[in-house]
Amino acid sequence: MGDLAMILGMVLAAFLVALSALILMQAWLDRQPTPVASIFAATPAQIAFLFDGERLIDASPAARALLPEGEDQRAWGRFMARFGPDFPGLAERLANLPRIGQIRIASHPGTSPPLVLKAELRSGLLHLAVDAGQAGFPTDPQTGHCDTATAAALQNEVLTQRAILSRAPVLLWKEAADGAVVWANHAYLIRAVELLPEGEDLSWPLPKLFDRAPGTSARLKLQMPSGAEWFDLVQVPAGDEVLCYAQAADKAVQAETALREFMQTLTKTFADLPIGLAIFDRGRCLQMFNPALTDLTRLPPEMLIARPSLNAFLDAMRARSMIPEPRDYRSWRKQLARLEEEASMGIFEETWSLPGGQTYRVIGRPHPNGALAFMFEDISNEMTRTRRYRADLELGQSVIDAVEDGVAVFSQGGQLVMSNAAYAQLWQHDPQVLLSEATITTLSTWWREHSAPTLLWDDATDFVTSGGDRTPWDGDVRLLDGRLVSCRFRPLPGGATMITFRHQVATPLTTVRETRPLQELSA
């Protein structure tokens, strides 16, 4: 009896423990929040939405799959973008729903398959439903049930295409027949939001960023808060709607602006050039010229504007005596052929002495794509100055040659710049034959070799090459044939030096007499 009582007690204790565990578990479960099921859980295949104003409260799984991704607070715009094109006047008819209470809207006649949208107000909430059998999902004709495999494939394709269009770097949108924007991708919406006034949200219908006639293409500017953006706009009609594409063209606009500014600068530079410029294309027709060309060639502007050929251009110049007159016409034609050939090789450069007394420098240079450029420069003044300078040099040389004393003039650097005939006769050489090698150093060596030993030539070298203030001085040397020569050293402006040599006739053969003490010369 004692064992039975013990067994009964253990069973009772185990029962009480199990009962206590069940009570505690139930109490814990009662504290957990009960998940709220969707009101469309019983009909997941139905396309149904529940809106509170523009905020999405609930939607069936099939309905959520049809809307683009985004926040529920902006679901109304996504709903209108998805179904607005299918149902004509959807926004206006939904605006009349509070007065009517319930409406049914048939899809656009061009929609395939046809859709029916049912809208009604339930306790202040907007309930929208589309029949699942007419929503575009394929069904099995034998069973009438939805073909899930085909629906999944179509849904995957739709999501892929939606992602590609929405995230495209170009602006994409669709306009209805009245010009309203009924769909747009992310790039378009981002700019539309940036252009909204402060405190205003994006609403339906979407704002229109560009205003252009359908079926045309253009480059338009969109003034954003961060600056102007340029786009190449293309609009393609698609039935009653218009598909629009706007590709960024900022770099193209910058390049065109830089090119236009460069061409303007180049045109102004050409217009101010005193050199006549004529550019002929591959076909040797005049494509570009500047005003100086008309002044130098005396050709009328209307003729140049008519783009004459190179031969016609040169013929017109010859008729106005602006080309050196050849001996015969045939040789002149050969000269023209040689002119074109040498210019295309980049080696043509001539000086034309015209019958009227002018002198032109004509240069021909090749240009890209087989073009040729000719430059005409009036160098009449330059040639006049050159001739006058040469005449002055010849006159000066004639004057110095008439001097009986030998004369040698050195530059500040010790280079011989002038000598006369008396000098050449005295020293038995003419340094002007090769002036580049005639310096005070080389000539002092020559003088030293043809005269008695003396320190005078060292002093002469120092005097010619030294700078600063210099004092004139004289000295005498004896030539190897016994003649005594008096040397005079005189500074000239600009650091130049003149040395004169005079032969003294009646002088006894004695040692060389110098006006400066030997100690001073050695110093």
Residues 458 and 516 in one domain: yes
Which pLDDT does position 264 carry in this prediction? 78
More confident residue, 346 or 88: 88
Mean pLDDT (the chain) is: 77
| 45 pLDDT tier (thresholds 50, 70, 90) | low
More confident residue, 153 or 23: 23
Q: What is the model's pLDDT at position 448?
A: 92
- Distance between CA 503 and CA 405 in Å, rounded? 8
Neighbours of 259 (CB within 10 A): 10
Distance CA 119, CA 98 (A): 11
Do residues 506 and 401 share a domain? Answer: yes
Task: Identify whether residues 404 and 515 lie together within a single domain.
Answer: yes
Give dist(CA 434, CA 450) in Å, integer: 20
Amino acid at position 75, single letter:
A
Q: Which of 67-71, 165-169, 257-261, 294-298 has the lowest mean pLDDT?
A: 67-71
With 0-12 CB in 10 A as exposed, 13-18 as middle and 19+ as buried, what is 278?
A: buried
pLDDT at 10 exceeding the cut of 50: yes
158 assigned to some structural domain: no
Residue 177 above 80 pLDDT?
Answer: no
**182 and 241 in a common domain:** yes
For residue 450, the SS3 value is: coil
**Does 67 lie in the same domain as 97?**
yes
Q: Based on the domain organization, do 63 and 109 belong to the same domain?
A: yes
> Which of 274, 216, 220, 214 has its CA nearest to residue 246?
220
The region of weakest confidence among 164-168, 383-387, 409-413 is: 164-168
Burial 450-467 (b: 16+ CB within 10 A, else e): ebeebebbebbbebbbee
> Cα 337 from chain centroid?
39
Q: Tell me if 103 is assigned to some domain.
A: yes
Q: Are 192 and 245 found together in one domain?
A: yes
Per-residue DSSP letters for 306-356? T--BHHHHHHHHHHTT-SPPPSSHHHHHHHHHHHHHHHHHT-EEEEEE-TT
Confidence of residue 255 (pLDDT cuts 50, 70, 90): confident
- Choice among 80-89, 287-296, 306-315, 327-336 with the minimum mean pLDDT: 327-336
The answer as to whether 501 is a domain residue is yes
For residues 339 and 442, state if they share a domain.
Answer: no
With 70 as the cut, is the pLDDT of residue 522 above it?
no
CB 489 within 8 A of CB 474: yes
Which secondary structure element, helix H or strand E, spans residue 16, and what is its range? helix 2-31
Q: What is the pLDDT of residue 436?
A: 67
Name the percent of the chain lying above pLDDT 90: 9
In whole angstroms, what is the distance from residue 292 CA to residue 297 CA?
9
CA 395, chain centre distance (Å): 58
* Same domain? 430 vs 517: yes
Extract the tokens encoding 153: 């494939």
pLDDT, mean of residues 385-392: 81
Q: Beta strand pairing status for 406-410 and 286-289?
A: unpaired
What is the SS3 assignment for 206? strand
Q: Tell me: the pLDDT tens digits for 415-464?
A: 998 898 899 888 888 887 766 678 899 999 999 999 999 999 999 999 99
Is 521 within 8 Å of 509 (Cβ atoms)? Answer: no
CA angle 168, 173, 176 (to 5 degrees): 160
Residue 511: the pLDDT is: 43
Looking at residue 476, its pLDDT comes to 92
Residues sharing a CB contact under 8 Å with residue 446, sequence separation 6 or more, in sequence order: 427, 429
In a domain, 156, yes or no: no
Looking at the chain, how many residues does it have?
523
Residue 39: pLDDT above 70?
Answer: no
Q: Specify if 21 maps to a domain.
A: no
pLDDT of 497 above 90: yes
Domain boundary among 346, 378, 410: 378
Number of structural domains, the chain? 4
The residue out of 320, 348, 378 marking a domain boundary is 378
One-letter identity of residue 387: R
Span 356-362, average pLDDT: 84
- Residue 168 predicted with pLDDT over 90: no
pLDDT at residue 261, as a whole number: 82
Please indicate, yes or no, if residue 406 is contained in any of the structural domains.
Answer: yes
CATH of the domain at 481: 3.30.450.20
**Looking at the domain assignment, is residue 139 inside a domain?**
no
Task: Give the pLDDT score at 95.
Answer: 85
DSSP codes joined into one string, 250-313: HHHHHHHHHHHHHHHHHHHHHHH-SSEEEEE-TTSBEEEE-HHHHHHH---HHHHHT--BHHHH
Task: Render 66-108 in DSSP notation, one character per residue.
Answer: HSPSS-GGGHHHHHHHHHTTTSTTHHHHHHTHHHHSEEEEEPP
- 362 CB contacts (<8 Å, ≥6 apart)? 348, 349, 350, 351, 352, 374, 375, 376, 377
Q: What is the pLDDT of residue 287?
A: 85
What's the CA gap between 11 and 50, in Å, rounded?
Answer: 57
Which residue among 252, 284, 314 closes a domain? 252
Clarify whether residues 515 and 417 are in a common domain: yes
- Which residues does residue 406 pair with via DSSP β-bridges, in sequence order? 501
> Is it the case that residue 142 has pLDDT exceeding 50?
no
The model carries a pTM of: 0.42
Whether 85 is covered by a domain: the verdict is yes
The pLDDT-based confidence of 202 (bands split at 50, 70, 90) is low
Domain that holds residue 457: 395-522
Q: How far apart are CA 107 and CA 363, in angstroms?
A: 77
Are residues 400 and 481 located together in one domain of the fold?
yes
pLDDT tens for 307-349 read: 898 888 888 888 888 877 765 656 766 766 776 677 667 677 8
Tokens encoding 27: 């109490």
Q: What is the CATH number of the domain that holds 183?
A: 3.30.450
Q: 57-94: b or e for each residue (b if 16 or more CB lie within 10 Å)? A: ebbbebbbebbbeeebebbbbbbbbbbbbbbbebeebb
Q: Check residue 33 and give its pLDDT.
A: 53
**Whether 128 and 203 share a structural domain:** no
Least confident of 143-157, 191-205, 238-252, 376-390: 143-157
Q: Kindly state the average pLDDT of the residues 19-24.
A: 74
For CA atoms 269, 272, 278, 280, the dihedral sign is: positive
Residue 297 has pLDDT above 60, yes or no: yes
Span 227-240, average pLDDT: 79
In the 3-class helix/strand/coil scheme, how is 129-154 assigned residue by residue?
EECHHHCCCCECCCCCCECHHHHHHH
Q: Residue 211: helix, strand or coil by DSSP?
A: coil
For the chain, give the percent of residues with pLDDT over 70: 79
